[in-house]
Amino acid sequence: MSTFQAPKGTYDLLPPDSATYLAVREAIAAPLRNSGYGYIETPGFEDVELFARGVGESTDIVTKEMYAFETKGGDRLALRPEGTASVLRAALEANLHKAGNLPVKLWYSGSYYRYERPQKGRYRHFSQVGAEAIGAEDPALDAELIILADQAYRSLGLRNFRILLNSLGDKECRPVYRAALQDFLRGLDLDEDTLRRAEINPLRVLDDKREAVQRQLADAPLLRDHLCDACKAYHEEVRELITAAGVAFEDDPKLVRGLDYYTRTTFEFVHGGLGSQSAVGGGGRYDGLSEMIGGPALPSVGWALGVDRTVLALQAEGVTLDIPAATSVYAVPLGEEARRVLFGVVTELRRAGVAADFSFGGKGLKGAMKNANRSGARFALVAGERDLAEGTAQLKDMESGEQVPVALDAVVSTLRARLA
Query: For ligand HAM, which residue of 54, 56, 110, 306 counts as binding (CB under 6 A)?
Result: 306
Around Cβ 39, how many Cβ atoms within 10 Å? 11
Query: What is the rounded distance in angstroms from the CA atom of residue 26 to the CA atom of residue 20?
Result: 10
Query: For ligand HAM, which residue of 203, 227, 274, 280 counts as binding (CB under 6 A)?
Result: 280
Q: Which is nearer to ligand HAM, 258 or 376 (CB)?
A: 258
Parallel, antiparallel or unpaired: strands 403-407 and 379-383: unpaired
Binding pattern for the stretch 54-93 against ligand HAM, x by CB under 6 A and - elsewhere: ----------------------------xxx---------
Q: Is 107 in the site for ligand HAM (CB under 6 A)?
A: no
| 3-state SS, one letter per residue, for the chain | CCCCCCCCCCCCCCCCHHHHHHHHHHHHHHHHHCCCCEECCCCCEEEHHHHHHHHCCCCHHHHCCCCEEECCCCCEEEECCCCHHHHHHHHHHCCHHHCCCCCEEEEEEEEEECCCCCECCECCEEEEEEEEEECCCCHHHHHHHHHHHHHHHHHHCCCCEEEEEEECCCCCHHHHHHHHHHHHHHCCCCCHHHHHHHHHCHHHHCCCCCHHHHHHCCCCCCHHHHCCHHHHHHHHHHHHHHHHCCCCCEECCCCCCCCCCCEEEEEEEEECCCCCCCEEEEEEECCCHHHHCCCCCCCEEEEEEEHHHHHHHHHHCCCCCCCCCCCCEEEEECCHHHHHHHHHHHHHHHHCCCCEEECCCCCCHHHHHHHHHHHCCCEEEEECHHHHHCCEEEEEECCCCCEEEEEHHHHHHHHHHHHC
> 84 among the known binding-site residues?
yes
Q: How far is the CB of 225 from ligand HAM (least distance, A)?
A: 25
> 114 among the known binding-site residues?
yes
Q: Is 258 in the site for ligand HAM (CB under 6 A)?
A: yes
Q: Which is nearer to ligand HAM, 31 or 302 (CB)?
A: 302
> 192 among the known binding-site residues?
no
**Span from 93-101, 119-127, 315-323, 329-337 in contact with ligand HAM (CB under 6 A):** 119-127
Q: Is 144 in the site for ligand HAM (CB under 6 A)?
A: no
Q: Is 283 in the site for ligand HAM (CB under 6 A)?
A: yes
Q: Which is nearer to ligand HAM, 306 or 333 (CB)?
A: 306
Q: How far is the CB of 28 from ligand HAM (least distance, A)?
A: 11
> 82 among the known binding-site residues?
yes
Query: For ligand HAM, which residue of 103, 110, 130, 299 counts as binding (CB under 6 A)?
Result: 130
Q: Which is nearer to ligand HAM, 26 or 116 (CB)?
A: 116
Number of residues that bind ligand HAM (CB under 6 A): 27
> 394 among the known binding-site residues?
no
**Span from 68-76, 157-165, 276-284, 409-417 in contact with ligand HAM (CB under 6 A):** 276-284
**Span from 30-38, 151-159, 186-194, 275-283 in contact with ligand HAM (CB under 6 A):** 275-283
**Span from 185-193, 199-207, 247-255, 277-285 in contact with ligand HAM (CB under 6 A):** 277-285
Annotated binding site: 82-84, 114, 128, 132, 257, 261-262
What is the binding site for ligand HAM (CB under 6 A)?
A: 82-84, 114, 116, 121-123, 126, 128, 130, 132, 258-259, 279-284, 286, 302-304, 306, 308-309
